Structure 1
């Protein structure tokens, strides 16, 4: 009986939290196949399923897999007090199975603002805000067809990477995967020159007025973009001590078998 009451309480808290933080109504959802690297030492790219939810005033870009991971993990935590069940669940979702942790909100908390969120070690949530970037796109020769839409080519250099994007005038949204935007149509594909990150649209749908765009600001610790970049670099160089520091347990000697890596950053803040 106690377990049942605890489960109901968790669900009620979750519902109340969502009800208080509805930002917009989603009108269009674009699905992308994404490839990415966590570290420069990683030989092959991981793949993920990303969604871009476009509302009347704002948008959200996120990993469908990580969204499902968090929902399942919260369900496990609400329905059992046995720590072994949680460990077994996390072991089953290890590595790329749970998708990328970051999300990009555009025009949140206000018009012209981009909010970037990320999670380290599944449990530590951070965010930073910046003005929606300006991209110096150069229109290039070339066209292609992506999920039935004619697309045009554009190239730009942005914070250390050269991006090639394919956008369609048939969908006049100033938006795209990740932070990308600034073209006269929706970006349906984008890749950077080192082939460490890419996005290709695999589907698009109009949604009914029942799907909402939600942001939960109280979940995140706020940093600057440079602070988060440094934290991400520290995490991959020394996951053991960085995680201990985030947990508030201080630094300790890492296991001898621990390896050090260099974070593969999508954009670099000097």
Structure 2
């Protein structure tokens, strides 16, 4: 297993061009992510707080819960002995002009940058309108990654980004869901970037966030992340999925019987995923 691991990690690292100019941050949008991962547990969907950081051309989508846990913020701490909530370990960069997606994935305490296939989404814009917290939005629909999507975007916010891999509209995507409400990205506010208007408590929180790349002044690909291909990265992921405890034991040197993999804070295991966000494309 150790020999196999060494070989697998070696092939992960390849030479790929990820040159991309940094983009100044203009806004940060929060979403509540709701996903029925297991159709046998429809009343207990997976939930997570997410963050979209946007600039004129670039954006990055990440888990706000993960960020707050990594920063060891008080509100992210769990009581001793309580289950450890799983969080999304994939960050998604989008570069609008190039129509380019890059995944930044964390595995075994290391980060990898992976080019994703570009795909322009064929949107149908309707005449319907609504507002979210005073943000005026228009409705658009599409079929993408095997799901029929209904989204609301804000023409007054001229960014082509949105949560997850949804993008390409003439305005920021504020809210989105598939037609079955199995996957939802619900608008949860826009961050105030002007600190003079923050309360003392908000200012302290902002100072803590400053330690994260997601609260820097620029959006840029991580320089110390390893660059690889999706094919090679998936190979090592498959090894992990076949035997998680054995994989961790071999990689860390910790005895197999001492390896502990946490569960869900809701008491419902979200390890069963029979309903992924990306489904087979409809023919």
Residue 145 (structure 2) aligns with? 159
What displacement does 1:116 show? 1.2
Structure 2: runs of 5 or more not aligned:
1-19, 196-215, 260-268
What displacement does 1:208 show? 5.2
Choose which of 138, 145, 153 in structure 1 pairs with 2:124: 138
Contact 1:62 1:103 in 2 (8 A): yes
Structure 1: runs of 5 or more not aligned:
1-20, 74-87
CA spacing shift, 1:269–1:235, aligned 2, 3 Å: farther
Residue 162 (structure 2) aligns with? 176
Contact 1:133 1:179 in 2 (8 A): no
Residue 119 (structure 1) aligns with? 106
Contact 2:99 2:120 in 1 (8 A): no
Contact 2:113 2:225 in 1 (8 A): no
d(CA) in 1 for partners of 2:234 and 2:273? 12
What displacement does 1:207 show? 2.5
* Aligned residues: CA RMSD: 4.1
Residue 32 (structure 1) aligns with? 31
- SS, match of residue 185 in structure 2: strand
Choose which of 86, 103, 111 in structure 1 pairs with 2:91: 103
Contact 1:41 1:261 in 2 (8 A): no
More helix by share: 1
What displacement does 1:39 show? 5.0
What displacement does 1:206 show? 5.2
d(CA) in 1 for partners of 2:123 and 2:50? 23
The structure, 1 or 2, with the larger RCO (C-alpha pairs under 8 Å, 6+ apart) is: 2
Q: Deviations over 1:119-151 (max 9, x none)?
A: 357x35444212543111122353221121222
Q: Post-superposition, which runs of at least 4 consecutive aligned residues in structure 1 deviate over 3 A? A: 37-43, 88-93, 123-127, 226-245, 259-264
Choose which of 190, 196, 199 in structure 2 pairs with 1:204: 190
d(CA) in 1 for partners of 2:23 and 2:194? 13
> How many residue pairs were aligned?
228
Residue 14 (structure 1) aligns with? none
What displacement does 1:227 show? 5.7
d(CA) in 2 for partners of 1:264 and 1:57? 32
What TM-score comes out, normalization by structure 1 length?
Answer: 0.66
Residue 3 (structure 2) aligns with? none
What TM-score comes out, normalization by structure 2 length?
Answer: 0.63
CA spacing shift, 1:194–1:218, aligned 2, 3 Å: farther
- SS, match of residue 218 in structure 1: coil
Residue 272 (structure 2) aligns with? 261
Range moving further from structure 2, 204-213 or 160-169: 204-213
